[in-house]
Structure 1
Amino acid sequence: MLRVSWKAYAGMGILATGAVTALSLRSGTVDAATATQKTSYVSWTSYGGSNSDAQYSALKQIDRSNAGQLQQVWFYASGNNGFRYGSNPLVVDGVMFVYGKDNTVVALDATTGKEIWVYDTHHPRLISHRGMTYWESKDRSDRRLLFSMNNELHAVDARTGKDVASFGKNGAVDLREGLGRVPSTIRQVQSNTPGRVFENLYITGSATGEEYESPPGDVRAFDVVTGKLVWQFHTVPHPGEMGYDTWPKDAYKYVGGTNNWGEFSIDEKRGIVYFPLGSPTYDFYGADRPGANLFSDCLLALDARTGKYIWHFQTTHHDLWDYDLETGPKLMTIDHDGKMVDVVVQAGKNGFVYVFDRTNGKPIWPIEERPVPKSDVPGEESWPTQPFPTHIPPFARQKFTADMVNPYIADPKEREAIKKQVEGARQEGIFTPPTLGTTMETPGNNGGGNWGSGAIDPATNTFYVVSKDAPSLLHLEAKPPKRQIPGSPETQGQVVYMQNCQSCHVANRKGQPPAIPSLEGVVERAGEGRVREAVHSGLTPMPAFPDLDTADIDHLIAYLKSPEKANLAPDMLARIMAPPATTAKLGPGGRRYWTGYGYMNSSEGLAAIGPPWSTLTAYDMNKGDMKWQIPLGEVTELVEKGIRNTGSYWPRGGAVVTAGGLIVIGTRSDAKLHIYDKDTGKQISEIQMPGGPEGIPTIYEVNGREYIALSARLNSDKVVGDQPKPSQSTTEPTEQTQGYYAYALPESSRAKK
């Protein structure tokens, strides 16, 4: 194991990697057509299509002239207990790897969707739903799938679906170890996003949770054969390491987060890995972590072989807004002032695009430090300036004023009430810190560029980004201490709900759809196991709750099942929600402050802000100019009323660009696969899907036929209107819609072309 020391790393040379000879997974024969797949963008053996995370395919059988002829050629049902929020399948030698029913790992015939083998994970609480990682030895005698479940990294044989017992301990590596915390106290550390393989290393980030005392988000590399830790980079620096002086003394012992939970990318030629990192915990209050807080909210470049530091750029100092970097950094070569420059392009939650020289982190266009508003929260020391890109226009709205309130909210009284909320909130620009009153955060902590949001076209040097406009209304208050009261399990569960769930799911448990679902009948719909998993491990965008023990969760479930049995006395309310005493651990005078995520929706489930709620933006990266921007998708319930071009609400995932001139993306709120012209943004075709598509499409070719595959979830949670009644989902529906859909041109059309 190598613990990285913090000395400036220089002299990075150009390091070439060896070619990999490709053999058939089934027969073991040489397949010359796949020998150059890793560099030619014609395969999909890595999450996002390649280690460079381009989300680009060089296949062009499906193009502008025939995309309207696409037909569904197979569907594989994953069941309601399959992936959570969109998955990106891998395809190797005609075999597709996906997550199936009850969190199984499944190998499918990529031309028919028929099962080849199924690996039973025995209903784990947590699995890396967005995808998995494929690795093969140079002679292809050893081929593996790697994925995380229950905070362990697992390896199975890609040909048989059997555990690789020699990996780690009996086929698994405990990811909770080596983080400076007692492993048994860590509720969540694995990421839903898969890691990447570079040579014989499995490199990974983590998802640590969003609460106080979450574990740190160290980035790590493991030997892909043995599972042994090779290197580890402390994202919250230890004594003697670079950046230690940007935190209080010994912050690494209690600060968590500062993690890579979205995508990252690797420049395989240079051997550089680029990590976009997230905010430190707690997200919205940092009195216990004064300073700039490196390496939170940084694009961090490391030597992929050793984990040694190369460069970084921090996009948010002392983050108080949960402005994680999570969209995959895109590697491009642009024509800048007449010179070809290798760059890395990073989209942010805040709507900004950052572009750096790939080798040294120097901004391609100026980024200015500008004064920003000061926090008025006791004990908080907000950073006085923040970096603003000066050349590339933002892709998301960065303010929300009263005249921007959604005109399609049916109740005029509700529209007026939202306008008053907007007018009454503190809003002095994009970096207005949270306050004890209300603060407007736009595009919002779940807005802007998110996981899977970026894609590139290397042929035209165009960068595409999917974005959500999702303002948040933040309201900091002292977090009440955990209190036990006498009473029935339902009454005690009501207390747990009030202190931990009510700020987001609201007092009547109806939620704020589509981002925050209703909890009415949730135990009947999802089952106790899924509810426990969500509370224990988190469920995007919901954080894990590490301070709730088994009894607390038991009581919460009892309350959610039978809220009418709760009999909390009115005089207990003030006591339960009272601020903590001054003996609590963190903050001025011992106080901890917290806020809900503040998603702003109407009672119908519509956004408080007017459309478009999601957009697809194209940038000419040679010039840094915006080429075009369009609303991305629609909302079915509004289309039925004649209201169009609103954008989807909210998409999860991203697009793939193709050499056939296409942008391919699915949107959940209208349950459609959209195909756009990559040069103009004009829609070429759309396909109505039985389920709500999420994740990143996979584009691949088998036996000369090109396919588009993507995942879709059960479309039971409507954007507008009431949530489904419990009786609607107590059993598996007769017609399965959650799973994987594959599309291709008709055989006759393909033959003509």
Structure 2
Amino acid sequence: MHQHREVRSRRRRVAYCLAAAALGLVSAGAVQAKTPAAATKTPGATFDLAGWDSYLGGSESSQYSSLDQVNKANVSQLKLAWTYKTGEGQPPHFNPVIVGGKLYILTPDNALAALDPASGKELWKRKYSGRVAGRGMNYWESKDGKDRRLFFMMDGMLTAVSAENGDPIATFGEQGGVDLRKGLDVDISQLRPLQTDNPGRIYKDTIIMSLPAGAYDYASAPADIHAYDVRTGKLKWKFHTVPKKGEFGYETWPEKDHEKFGGVHNWSESTVDPETGIIYIPTGTARYDFYGGNREGQNLFANSIVALDAQTGKRIWHYQVLHHDLWDFDNPQAPKLLTIHKDGKDIPVVILATKMGFVFVFNRLTGEPIWPIEERPVPASDVPGEKAWPTQPFPTWPEPFARQSFTEAEINPYIPEEDKVKLRELFKTARNEGIYTPPSVVGSISAPGHNGGANWGSSAVDPKNGRFFVVSKQMPTFDKLNLDKRPEALEAMPNGGGDVQPYKSGVNFMLQSNGLPAISPPWSLITAYDMNTGNKIWELPNGEVTELVKMNIKNTGSTAPRGGPVATAGGIVFVGTSSDRKIRARDAENGKVLWEFELPAASEGVPAVYEADGRQYLVIAVGGDGLFAPQLGQTPPGESQYMAFALPQAPSGGSN
């Protein structure tokens, strides 16, 4: 059995040298803090990808398994092998960790459970007094294998427990936990515990955590990046996502009331390249998300991919994919690592899929774009006090994977006529000038919308074939700004609101009376790229809506899926959907569905693929109706549970 997924480098670590002089700030293009020296070998995706020892499979976030026992020839024979019920409560989004002969999950009753990965039998379960949360966790073990730990979030505390029995590690932090607020350069006495679903990443003996923003409002704490010693919990380094005076990027913010700026949080996921020791952090929006009158400027390091030295926290390079965000287009997912072959040479790349539907591809050592990225003019804001950035970066290649506009001709034909009439009236008055139409007082249409495009866990790579797979949503929003006269909002503005009035957005997801999106289908797509060329290999609707299928309306895509793909060496891409409650296996070469299984509830998360007792398994979390479930008469969902599938050559095991 593959018990460990210790991502070990098989090539020497790339050497770096300090740049001779600081580079000037530019509005577009990779900005480097230090330049890699010539490497002895080009880094590649040579990691051990047979196990699943942390969120998304490993620190490199590939969502890929090199196991091939299940392949295109036999995947149609997959059967349910075991289930594990998690009871009532929050539907599970947790991506299981399989290591050391155990499958670990966090459960809705604030517990950690260890299961037999071959049978699903509960080996032990440890309940905690605090609220445990997250989409995943991290595993670490000492070189001699005697100290084995799991790390997850509980009540705003980074918590370390024994992988043997779930007992807290008393020598880590304070009785097993580290308060993420400590180390922030602000008064934390009035700051609530910083709970986050982002499990962070481990590199060697360092765990790197991204702090949440603290509040979805103007008054939000800065969301710095903190690194801790995995043994002691001692703070090793921190990176300011809102630069301090004297730091690179400080001048991209107003100097006045600089301490009031917050947000810029990596709320989602991050990626470590274990070969080079670089961690890639995708950052989010500066607060407030839909109005930036208080934060004139480009706003680094918001909406960027930031490459940091995982040992020291020093910035190696960054690229801002969106300037002065007004749309809540934060970067929602872990960047993906590949080595591609282009222009006769191997190039190590990092791929970032965005809410805007763009694919940004960079040399992962230098940050240089693989294909040109153009700064193009975008519409200006008409809101008092707002100065939208005049241009935005547009990748010239690869092609986008999501629709980036919504016109009257695209109104959903499957909604009631009275809804169509209201939408036509809306189109007469709303601002609707393309992807970067700013929010406005009259209201603006934003497409694919801040819950559209890519999202957490929604992409995977196949390092063997150089492929990139991404699941997308098409969910336009209507963004209408209203004056915000709350004292706490005014206090967060420059000069206590004396210089500029704050605005608050009434975001409308444009869901219609039957729960369906305003835009015509497909509402979700799964797209495959050949990253050696940047060409799309295939693009297909991702899922269905059960009640529409009954009316012979097919190929619509799921309405708002939050199921992430997993690719395998067997030539398969697995992905679950919500509005039709299914998991599918697709042929990685052409997207054809080779197997599907009807689930008792929605699936919103990333499956895990692993081997136990010589048998390959696929396990997925199932529960609830799913995000924005259509009101079309679906039956109530079954009990939340984990469901594992395998080929029938071996006994199926027990059921809990």
TM-score, normalised with respect to structure 1: 0.79
| Residues 723 and 245 of structure 1, relative CA distance in 2, 3 Å threshold | farther
Q: 1:232 aligns with which of 201, 215, 238?
A: 238
* 2:118–2:613 CA contact under 8 A, matched in 1: no
**Is 2:637 aligned against 1:744?**
no
Indicate whether 1:355 and 2:344 are aligned.
Answer: no
User: CA offsets per residue over residues 145-183 of structure 1, 9 Å max, x none?
Assistant: 100121111010000110100000011101112223332
- The equivalences for 1:207-606 within 5 A come to 207-208=212-213, 209-249=215-255, 252-409=258-415, 411-481=416-486, 589-606=499-516
Conserved 8 A contact 1:76-1:739: yes
Distance in 2 (CA, whole Å) between partners of 1:104 and 1:150 is 13
Query: Contact (CA 8 Å) 1:368, 1:389: kept in 2 or not?
Result: yes
Look up the SS of the partner of 1:440 in the other structure: strand
Structure 1 position 588, deviation (Å):
6.3
Change (3 A) 1:586 1:377: farther
- 1:77 maps to a residue whose letter is K
Q: Can you list the C-alpha shifts for 1:58-105, whole angstroms capped at 9, x where unaligned?
A: 1111111211111111111112225x5611000003201101241211
Shift of 1:381: 1.0
Measure, in 2, the Cα distance between the counterparts of 1:330 and 1:94. Answer: 27
Task: Kindly report which structure 2 residues correspond to 1:166-205, keeping only aligned pairs within 5 A, or say none.
Answer: 166-187=171-192, 189-205=194-210
Distance in 2, Cα, partners of 1:471 & 1:329: 24
- Does the aligned pair in 2 maintain the 1:217–1:258 contact within 8 Å? yes
Are 1:53 and 2:51 matched, yes or no? Answer: no
Offset, 1:327: 1.5
Alpha carbons of structure 1 residues 264 and 14: separation in structure 2 relative to 1, 3 Å: farther
> Which residue of structure 2 aligns with residue 689 of structure 1?
599
Q: Contact 1:102 / 1:123 at 8 angstroms: preserved in 2?
A: no
Supply the distance in 1 between the matched residues of 2:407 and 2:388 (Cα, whole angstroms). 24
Instruction: Judging by fraction of residues, say which structure has more strand.
Output: 2
Give the helix-richer structure, 1 or 2. Answer: 1
Distance apart, 1:606 and its partner CA: 0.6
- Displacement of 1:294: 0.4
Q: What's the counterpart of residue 731 of structure 1?
A: none
Is the alpha carbon distance of 1:169 and 1:603 closer, same or farther for their aligned partners in structure 2, counting shifts above 3 Å? same
Structure 1: which amino acid aligns with 2:536?
A: M
Instruction: Describe the shift of the 1:716–1:625 C-alpha distance in structure 2 as closer, same or farther (beyond 3 A).
Output: closer
Moved more, 351-360 or 582-591: 582-591
Please give the alpha-carbon distance, in whole angstroms, between the structure 1 residues aligned to 2:486 and 2:354. Answer: 34
- For the residues of structure 2 that align with 1:294 and 1:586, how far apart are their CA atoms? 23
Q: Secondary structure at the match of 1:422?
A: helix
CA distance, structure 2, for counterparts of residue 386 and residue 361 of structure 1: 18
Contact 1:435 1:476 in 2 (8 A): yes
Any idea what SS the aligned residue of 1:232 has?
A: strand
* 1:502-527 CA-partner distances (Å, limit 9, x unpaired): xxxxxxxxxxxxxxxxxxxxxxxxxx
Aligned AA (1:143)? R
- Hey, what does 1:531 align to over in structure 2? none
Cα gap change, 1:9/1:393 in structure 2, threshold over 3 Å: closer, same or farther?
closer
Residue 470 of structure 1 and its aligned partner are, at CA, apart by 0.6
Aligned to 1:74: 82
CA deviation vs aligned residue, 1:517-571 (integer Å, no higher than 9, x gap): xxxxxxxxxxxxxxxxxxxxxxxxxxxxxx7xxxxxxxxxxxxxxxxxxxxxxxx
Contact 1:247 1:289 in 2 (8 A): yes
The SS at the match of 1:350 is coil
Check if 1:98 corresponds to 2:122.
no
Cα shift at 1:479:
1.7
Match of 1:42 in 2: 50
CA separation of 1:434 and 1:715: change in aligned 2, threshold 3 A:
closer
Within 2, Cα distance between the matches of 1:398 and 1:391? 15
Task: Measure how far apart 1:196 and its partner are.
Answer: 1.1
Structure 1 SS opposite 2:507? coil
Structure 1 counterpart SS, 2:427: helix
Residue 78 of structure 1 aligns to a residue whose secondary structure is strand
What is residue 15 of structure 2 aligned with on the other side?
none
- Correspondence 1:620 to 2:530: yes
Letter in 2 for 1:213: A
Name the SS for the 1:162 alignment partner.
Answer: coil
Residue 558 of structure 2 corresponds to residue 648 of structure 1: yes
**418-427 or 349-358, which moves further after superposition?**
418-427
SS in 2 for 1:421: helix
Among 624, 630, 647, the residue aligned to 1:714: 624
Q: Distance in 1 between matches of 2:509 and 2:217?
A: 18
| 1:110 paired residue number | 117
The 1:459/1:659 distance shift into structure 2, 3 A limit, reads same
* AA partner of residue 99 (structure 2): V
Q: Find the aligned partners of 2:541 and 2:362 in 1 and give their Cα distance.
A: 28
Q: CA deviation at 1:460?
A: 1.3
**Residue by residue, what CA displacement relative to the aligned partner does 1:648-690 show, whole Å, maximum 9, x if unpaired?**
1111131000111100011111111111000001111100011
Whole-Å Cα distance in 1 between the matches of residues 519 and 246 of structure 2? 47
Please state how far the C-alpha of 1:237 moved relative to its aligned partner. Answer: 0.3
SS at structure 2 position matched to 1:460: coil
Partners of 1:446 and 1:470 within 8 A in 2: yes
Q: Tell me the residue number matched to 2:73.
A: 65
Letter in 2 for 1:740: Y
> Runs of 4 or more off by more than 6 Å in structure 1?
579-585, 722-725
Contact 1:291-1:383 at 8 Å conserved across structures: yes
Residue equivalent to 2:34: 10
Are the equivalent residues in 2 in contact too, given 1:478–1:580 (CA < 8 A)? no
Other structure's SS at 1:130 match: strand
Residue number in structure 2 paired with 1:637: 547
**CA distance, structure 2, for counterparts of residue 673 and residue 211 of structure 1:** 37
Distance (whole Å) between structure 2 residues aligned to residue 716 and residue 344 of structure 1: 30
- The separation in 1 between residues aligned to 2:649 and 2:385, in whole angstroms, is 67
Q: Shift of the alpha carbon at 1:736?
A: 5.6
Matching of residue 699 in structure 1 with residue 609 in structure 2: yes
Structure 2: stretches of 5+ with no match in the other structure: 1-20, 23-31
Q: Is the 8 A contact 1:668 1:692 kept in 2?
A: yes
Instruction: Supply the distance in 1 between the matched residues of 2:34 and 2:336 (Cα, whole angstroms).
Output: 23
Report if the CA contact (8 A) 1:449-1:468 is conserved.
Answer: yes
Q: 1:384–1:137: structure 2 CA closer, same or farther, 3 Å change rule?
A: same
Contact 1:222 1:228 in 2 (8 A): yes
For residues 511 and 604 of structure 2, the distance between their equivalents in structure 1, rounded to whole angstroms, comes to 21
Displacement of 1:749 in angstroms is 9.9
Structure 1 range deviating more: 113-122 or 228-237:
113-122
Give the length in aligned residue pairs. Answer: 618
The counterpart of 2:126, out of the listed 97, 106, 119, is 119
Query: What whole-Å deviation, never above 9, does each CA across 1:583-628 have from its counterpart, x for those lacking one?
Result: 9965565522011332111011111101111100011111111111
- Structure 1 vs Structure 2: percent identity of aligned residues? 45
- What is the Cα deviation at residue 455 of structure 1? 0.5
SS of aligned partner of 1:131: strand
Q: Which of the numbers 666, 685, 709 marks the counterpart of 2:576?
A: 666
Distance 2:318 2:79 in 1: 46
Distance in 2, Cα, partners of 1:422 & 1:696? 37
C-alpha spacing 1:453/1:582, structure 2 compared with 1 (3 Å): closer
CA distance in 2, matches of 1:300, 1:445: 21
Tell me, what secondary structure is at the counterpart of 1:596? strand
1:732 corresponding residue in structure 2: none
Normalised TM-score (structure 2): 0.90
